[in-house]
Structure 1
Amino acid sequence: MEDKIAQVSLDTFLREFVPGPDLPPGATIEGFCTTEAISTESTVYGRLCEAANSVFNRVPAEAGGQRLVAEDTHRWVDLTDETDGTLRTSPGVIVYPVNEDAIKAYTIEAAMPNQRRPRKRQRCEATEARAAWFWVSLLLHAKVDPDDSPFAIPDSAQEASSQTTSTQGIATLVPPPPAVPTMVTASAGADLPPSFLRLKTTGGATRTVRQLTDCVAKVLQRQFLLWFFTVFVCRDHAWLLRWDRMGLVVSEPFNFVQQPHVLHNFLHRFACMSDLQRGRDLTVVPASEEEAKRMRCFTKFDSPSDWRKIPFATALAPGWPIYKISVPEDDMISAAQLKKDTKEPQDTSKPSSGRMRGFLVGKPSFTNTSVTGRATKCHIAYDISEDRLVFCKEYWRTDTPTSHPEGDVYLRLHSKNVSFIATPIAAGDVRNKYGTVHHTRAQEFTGESDRMLVQYRLILKEIAQPLKEYTNSLHLVQMVYSYLRAHEEAWLEAGVLHRDISGDNLMIYWYFENGQSKCKALLVDWGLCKYREEMDKPVVRKNRSGTWQFISAVLLVYPGTFAHEVWHDLESFIHVLHWMCLRFHITDASADIKNLINHVSAIYDHSHKNASGSSVGGYQKLRIMQNGDVPFRLIGGSAGLQTPGLHRLFLALAALYKEQYKWLEPQLHRLISIPAESQKDAPPQVQQSQVTMPSRRLPARVKGQLVVEVVPAQPVLNDHIRFAEALEQALFSESNPWTDDEKTIDQFAYDNSVMKQHMWMSREASRRSPEEEISVKDKARKRVRSGTHTVPWSTSSASQLGSKAGLDLET
């Protein structure tokens, strides 16, 4: 993640993020003995708990936040890690609120210590606790080996003079001397201080970054937070960290053995802060017992076989609390507003009317694993007022003139009667009770060109399945034809270009009509779209929009060179079809799963940084497009036959994209040559009558395969006509029935320890769009903001901090 981490002085960090009173002078608190502080990690954790609790016990009862307690949790993981499919990990020290539910969650079960020897059992019962991500208020993580620190430790450990008198670990707080600026700004004309952010890729530092980000990600996935604080300790130095969805702000290091007042005052201020100041989203609160019971008792499904029963049961998973999300009535969308596109935009300078609608949620159906970026979180929600299930999605949108709130996009699409799209019932930026929009602050310190992110919430009427749940090959192509119709109508009728066609944004919606189960396609996730009237506006940032695996080859190979156009989205539809076939159908790569995974990764996952810092990839994909190849051979089914089926459809599409890239060839020849590629690099059958399909839009063409002229080359994918014709010839043949290509199990989820981890990473990557690219302005020449010093994070684990999940980078 480039330029997403900023260092600031201690004064700046405390002033900007941790307001509140310091400990009173003369307070007796737990200090640190140097030999104890750096001996072992377990010793550090014990001393940190003692010091933190010594501070928390001196917080006035009338302070704004709940009373806190620090617990040593480095040996005991959260039990919910066993059920959510993530890696099990635990930080060294967790600060919890003192309440009955939290205590129950983090207390180690009585049976667990009995499995250990008496001495260890006694220590467990007295000093240790379990990680409980739902209740974490603050994390403290420690290392004793300097090579394990992702931050540079000052060369001189004696640079700061002691401000305390220490005797056997007990310190009496002495007021520090008047503050002296510890960081010099560029505007003052002096040299910048050296960066303390380590840029090397040692194994220990990389593992520490992964541990830190994994722990923060787990907290953000389970709680409703706007930002989050952690403390990192290495030997006798500590750093204060504040995470939000735009980046990470880190304080300069301080010697907490020689200057314990710094850490003590931070902990005291943190304990005195309110939940809002600590980053809590106060629009989400624990549901009452009566509300939770009402959600758990919901049974209004369309039929005994209603597929929503399974995901709804997952939302009520044991161990996951039920929360109530409050949505202002001002954000609700009526049917009349959908047709007329007349909903007034929010006035963020004024508080809402005060009337709220309640939606109950449990375990999310999807959460993005990155700690920065859009951070999409989706729930199947219970609408209290209407006694129904709906779909709730929240994410952080870019605050730019050409970044459109998704609810506004749906209003525009519905006003033009665009088919096969979802129905919004509420949408809006999330605001606190004072009317202030929830937004990020890291961009204030990471760079002048970084844009603020705003929290956004969208409620949809339909709960749908992802495209991967299609039942057979005919069903797959029927759905893609409907998505293509939605995309075409959105562009021609409403002037909206989607720009994020991917397997996760193409949905199947099942419903009952006249006592029959039917389904139709839904093209969703319009948050990265652009309006036709904006397409010619100058771009000040190199960018790509979309999900990496499905982005057009030419956009991957030549970042920032081509503007995103209609044909790039149409190519993404083709990549989705290829991806689904490789994943769920028998091909020449299926016999060897390792070979299949390597083949898919080489085509769809490979990327590297070029000289300008942009992510570049897609070389094999580009060759496939230019040669008119299909990246696999089907085995059985429609393979080699002249009847309609996947085989014949893929050949027809291959002829189209070969022609498109032949037309593009003169433009590519004027660009820098492509560098050599890295060497690394039985479901139920759906019936025709069940699928709600658009009527045939084109007149019948000449039967047989499409014939594409070779000379002169034509831009055959610059509109939807030829693509739609290829699908229609496959779907609407009167003389030859469709030849099915059997759908298999998910071949990307092969249950092998090595391959399973590889494909888990691949599935995570499939939800991501490119990392933020370098600005057209040379960031290296930017002036450093007052009181800050920004540096890149270029270790191999940087992606742990970054998000590729649909972050639009154009401003």
Structure 2
Amino acid sequence: MEGLFVEVPRKKFKEYFSGGSEPPKMKKFEFNVNLDSEEKMYFGVSKSLQDSLPDQEEFVVKDTGRWKDMADGSTHAKAKNDKKPDLGIYPRHEAALKAVKIEKPLTEDQKHKLGKRVDFIGRVSWAWLSLSLEVKNRTETAPFSCDGGTYWLPDNDEARKSRGQLADYAKEVLARQHRQFFFMIVVIRDHARILRWDRAGAAVSRSFNYVQYPRKLGGFIYRYAKMTPVQRGFDPTATLATKEEIAILKAYISSLKDRDVSDYLRKCMNSIIDEDGKDDEDGKGKKAKDKKAKDDENDATSYEWPIYKIELDASKFVSVKRGESERENSDKAGEDDAAANIDPKPQAKRYLLVGRAMSTSLSPTGRGTKGFAAYDMTAKTHVFLKDTWRPDSARIRPEGEIYKKLAQCEVAEIATLLYCGDVGGEKPQKTCAQRPLEKEDTKVKVLARIHYRLVFEEIARPLGKYKNSLEMALAIYAALTAHRDAWEKAGILHRDISDGNIMICDDAKDEHGRRTTMAFLNDWDLAKYEHELTKAPTQKTRSGTWQFISGLLLQFPQKQHEVSDDLESFIHVINWLSFWYHKNNYSGKPEALGNTLSAIYDESSPSPDGCDTGGITKTVYLQSGRPPLKLDMDTASQGHSRLLRSLATLAKEHYESASVSQWELESYGCRGGAGNEEESTMETTIKVESKHAFHRFIPKPVDTNQEDDDMPATPPAPITREGVLSSHSAILAAFEDALSKKWKPVDKTKNLVMTYTNSGTHILRTRTGSGKRSAESSPSGGIEGDKRPSKKRWSGKRSKRAQAASEQSDESDLSAVPEEEDD
């Protein structure tokens, strides 16, 4: 994390903020602050900051250290963030003032305890926070030193925790607002530092005494208030929607009630204007009243997530049709446009309306991907917007280029890309925090980031929202088919297989134009071409989602990423979901389940050369030839049980035959759960011809006179010296074999898992989402948190090292993010 904070000399720091007129010479700045305690500092700092603002009073200072934001997070991350910046500067805007207002009147006792602070108290509003301030009274708990010495980053747990706290604030602001960068002030007794956050890191000013030299801090606040929104870091291509535009959006969402679309799509579109994304069928209760009030106001700012209009430069964006390399000025292109209700002479600009994000990143740095259900005002339909910050490197291809190549090669089972491009066109929005980091003598190379957007046709649910094990298996089978075609037809390897990157779309169209369900593999931003895989990685950490990375890649970070690594990841996906959502030998044993998940999927330790390694326990299970769990015989589907055993057999055969001596793989003892017997089920399937892999196996009535097939689950593919997972034939055959068996229509549950808070307190929880990147990143709705190089999701009790790391921030992951460049 320390590698992402860089101290900038005072004269150089002015390069990181421009605009805003200098305060008049007659403007007086003074900071009278009581340094006896942190809470006693709040009033003096608040009043002095308010007095430092220009007379126009466009901003207001709020003391928010006690009252958290009441707005929900993204639709796939329901929990509210309970972090509370000590102070914040907010626009004196009616909606912002309403958001920070504490509705419940204070008692006389509360007023007495708050004293003079009463005039400034307010509630945190991440959607409206313009600039945040953190106040520290004790230097030993401060994130930075204030003595101006060489060691400006204190090396102790409290300091690291404080830096994680700052990162969490930045994460929330960048997730909730459409920002290029964000300013922050840290006050440490009578000293202060100014921070500028963007997706490459945080540039930090030198410490200065704001009491002795009040014009330094007061002058910055004055200039900040005089800056334009763009100079304060706001994205000029995102503006608050007008009442008329909101009315159009609401009319479209209302029309979906009478159209043949899925309930999930209705919920996603409704989430743009409704904080919980749920319809109130009976129209009763507080939510109905709140919704009616919003309908009456018809104002973009009346929502916890304000509604914005996103401007796309249509002349720079490329529309991609499956099987076609480019849109051509032909009669056929005109016919396609007419069929799609698109103006054959598109305007220079195209606009989307968005509100509450479906997913946001869990980190302030890196790709910072956000996913939105959106309304396309030009095509007059729903689309999915992926907003991200791609690495600025010639070695890393923009994700849209990968999608275009896949479409040219007629790869099916992928999302339909409509538009892609850098925000800002020829002069794209770009980070600048990497510039001082490049000059530092650090081991971390941080790439610049370019703001990048993609628009997709489908709004899909993440794999974790599957209805039963059959749908799960069909979705993974479809993703495997896409993975095979991408490799064999286009020479592209995905390199980030996870549960968050497999999607199920209930609003696809078949060849007759009827609504159907299909699944696809998405999130191709880490994909590489075959010839690029031979380049040795120059960095030591792995790309991808830690839980699903192959055992060999985790143990040997310098190993080349191969097809077999991705195929092994598919095995981990189905095992992972089986642990969480199906009754097994760990069900009802939350502590044992938590410890097992942590041991297999979260194992991590530093090696002597400084990189994280893991995967030893994962490899033990893979070598055993047995699934890591035993499904309950009374509730499991025959096909599900068979599939787990077949995949375990494949993994064992691969590890026995693959040439891994160069990686010095040690032999470990085998252990794991035994396979379980199948029992009679309610449904079986038959294989049929279909364009989409998801539809190649359909349920049929059970023949009650037919005996269950108890033959050993042995995949039909032969073992090769390259390893049975070096090609797709064996694993696809294993899925086809299992899919031909019997499956129960109802076999999904939620297992309780024991996890631990940062303080060591254990809690019980179920898994409610993919939990992957924040939100970073699925193009069509299932995005988790973007924690790169590898995203670690601690499931059980953590090691001391992991515990200390997580205490830096409950959710922030400040790992350096250059892995796509080097790996």
8 Å CA contact 1:18–1:270 kept in 2: the answer is: no
| CA separation of 1:650 and 1:758: change in aligned 2, threshold 3 A | closer
- Aligned amino acid, residue 625 of structure 1: L
* 2:65 counterpart (57, 74, 78): 74
Would you say 1:28 and 2:40 are equivalent positions?
no
Would you say 1:470 and 2:426 are equivalent positions?
no
- Aligned amino acid, residue 771 of structure 2: R
* 1:89 counterpart (75, 83, 86): 83
8 Å CA contact 1:67–1:271 kept in 2: the answer is: yes
In structure 1, the partner of 2:6 is: 6
In structure 2, the partner of 1:423 is: 416
8 Å CA contact 1:371–1:803 kept in 2: the answer is: no
CA distance in 1, matches of 2:142, 2:18: 24
Please give the TM-score of this superposition, normalised by the length of structure 1.
0.80
- Aligned amino acid, residue 429 of structure 2: H
Deviation at 1:91, TM superposition (A): 1.4
In structure 2, the partner of 1:658 is: 652
- Aligned amino acid, residue 263 of structure 2: D
CA-based RMSD: 3.7
CA distance in 2, matches of 1:444, 1:729: 54
8 Å CA contact 2:580–2:767 kept in 1: the answer is: no
Matches for 1:460-499 after TM superposition, within 5 Å: 460-499=456-495
- Aligned amino acid, residue 527 of structure 2: C
- Aligned amino acid, residue 742 of structure 1: D
CA distance in 1, matches of 2:523, 2:328: 20
8 Å CA contact 1:649–1:727 kept in 2: the answer is: yes
* 2:95 counterpart (76, 98, 101): 101
Matches for 1:260-271 after TM superposition, within 5 Å: 260-271=214-225
| SS of 1:562 mapped into structure 2 | coil
In structure 1, the partner of 2:178 is: 224
In structure 1, the partner of 2:750 is: 745
Matches for 1:302-317 after TM superposition, within 5 Å: 302-303=259-260, 306-316=263-273, 317=275
8 Å CA contact 1:391–1:460 kept in 2: the answer is: yes
Matches for 1:357-506 after TM superposition, within 5 Å: 357-431=350-424, 435-447=426-438, 449-506=445-502
- Aligned amino acid, residue 226 of structure 2: C
Deviation at 1:612, TM superposition (A): 2.1
8 Å CA contact 1:768–1:806 kept in 2: the answer is: no
Which 10-residue stretch deviates more, 605-614 or 796-805?
796-805
Matches for 1:649-728 after TM superposition, within 5 Å: 649-664=643-658, 666-667=660-661, 670=664, 692-693=692-693, 705-706=713-714, 714-728=722-736
| CA separation of 1:649 and 1:599: change in aligned 2, threshold 3 A | same
8 Å CA contact 1:360–1:383 kept in 2: the answer is: yes
8 Å CA contact 1:422–1:524 kept in 2: the answer is: yes
Deviation at 1:545, TM superposition (A): 1.9
8 Å CA contact 2:182–2:196 kept in 1: the answer is: yes
Deviation at 1:24, TM superposition (A): 3.6
8 Å CA contact 1:483–1:506 kept in 2: the answer is: yes
| SS of 2:583 mapped into structure 1 | coil
CA distance in 2, matches of 1:458, 1:656: 37
| CA separation of 1:338 and 1:100: change in aligned 2, threshold 3 A | farther
* 1:127 counterpart (113, 120, 126): 120
8 Å CA contact 1:548–1:770 kept in 2: the answer is: no
CA distance in 2, matches of 1:414, 1:446: 38
In structure 1, the partner of 2:194 is: 240
| SS of 2:419 mapped into structure 1 | strand
| SS of 2:724 mapped into structure 1 | coil
Q: Deviations over 1:666-698 (max 9, x none)?
A: 5256368999x9xxxxxx99998999536879x
In structure 1, the partner of 2:299 is: none
8 Å CA contact 1:20–1:269 kept in 2: the answer is: yes
CA distance in 2, matches of 1:201, 1:633: 41
In structure 2, the partner of 1:283 is: 237
8 Å CA contact 2:199–2:367 kept in 1: the answer is: yes
* 2:304 counterpart (310, 319, 322): 319
In structure 1, the partner of 2:318 is: 333
8 Å CA contact 2:718–2:724 kept in 1: the answer is: no
* 2:49 counterpart (24, 49, 52): 52
In structure 2, the partner of 1:579 is: 576
Deviation at 1:592, TM superposition (A): 0.8
Stretches of structure 2 lacking an aligned partner (at least 5 in a row): 276-302, 330-345, 440-444, 672-681, 698-709, 775-783, 791-803
CA distance in 2, matches of 1:583, 1:805: 29
8 Å CA contact 2:392–2:450 kept in 1: the answer is: yes
In structure 2, the partner of 1:200 is: 156
| CA separation of 1:685 and 1:228: change in aligned 2, threshold 3 A | farther
- Aligned amino acid, residue 83 of structure 2: T
CA distance in 1, matches of 2:328, 2:178: 28
CA distance in 1, matches of 2:821, 2:668: 24
| SS of 2:373 mapped into structure 1 | strand
CA distance in 1, matches of 2:115, 2:409: 69
The share of aligned pairs that are identical, in percent, is 32
| CA separation of 1:322 and 1:277: change in aligned 2, threshold 3 A | same
In structure 1, the partner of 2:140 is: 147
In structure 2, the partner of 1:518 is: 516
8 Å CA contact 2:635–2:747 kept in 1: the answer is: no
Q: Deviations over 1:10-30 (max 9, x none)?
A: 221123335554434353222
In structure 2, the partner of 1:557 is: 555
In structure 2, the partner of 1:177 is: none
| SS of 2:573 mapped into structure 1 | helix
CA distance in 1, matches of 2:376, 2:127: 23
| SS of 1:629 mapped into structure 2 | coil
| SS of 2:771 mapped into structure 1 | helix
CA distance in 2, matches of 1:414, 1:82: 34
Q: Deviations over 1:321-343 (max 9, x none)?
A: 11110111124433558612469
- Aligned amino acid, residue 614 of structure 1: C
CA distance in 1, matches of 2:81, 2:432: 29
Number of positions where the alignment pairs a residue of Structure 1 with one of Structure 2: 715
Q: Deviations over 1:334-383 (max 9, x none)?
A: 35586124699xxxxxxxx9821110011111011211111110010011
- Aligned amino acid, residue 745 of structure 1: K
| SS of 1:539 mapped into structure 2 | coil
Deviation at 1:507, TM superposition (A): 0.4
| CA separation of 1:127 and 1:687: change in aligned 2, threshold 3 A | farther
8 Å CA contact 1:471–1:686 kept in 2: the answer is: no
| SS of 2:560 mapped into structure 1 | coil
In structure 2, the partner of 1:602 is: 599
Q: Deviations over 1:577-617 (max 9, x none)?
A: 10111111111111212221221121112223222221212
CA distance in 1, matches of 2:621, 2:552: 11
8 Å CA contact 1:68–1:96 kept in 2: the answer is: yes
| CA separation of 1:7 and 1:493: change in aligned 2, threshold 3 A | same
In structure 1, the partner of 2:808 is: 797
| CA separation of 1:762 and 1:596: change in aligned 2, threshold 3 A | farther
In structure 1, the partner of 2:543 is: 545
| CA separation of 1:19 and 1:320: change in aligned 2, threshold 3 A | closer
Which 10-residue stretch deviates more, 116-125 or 217-226?
116-125
Deviation at 1:562, TM superposition (A): 0.9
8 Å CA contact 2:556–2:663 kept in 1: the answer is: no
- Aligned amino acid, residue 499 of structure 2: G
| CA separation of 1:741 and 1:17: change in aligned 2, threshold 3 A | same
| SS of 1:133 mapped into structure 2 | coil
Would you say 1:254 and 2:247 are equivalent positions?
no
CA distance in 2, matches of 1:476, 1:113: 51
Deviation at 1:553, TM superposition (A): 1.0
Would you say 1:531 and 2:524 are equivalent positions?
no
- Aligned amino acid, residue 57 of structure 1: P
Q: Deviations over 1:43-67 (max 9, x none)?
A: 3221222222222135xx6xxxx93
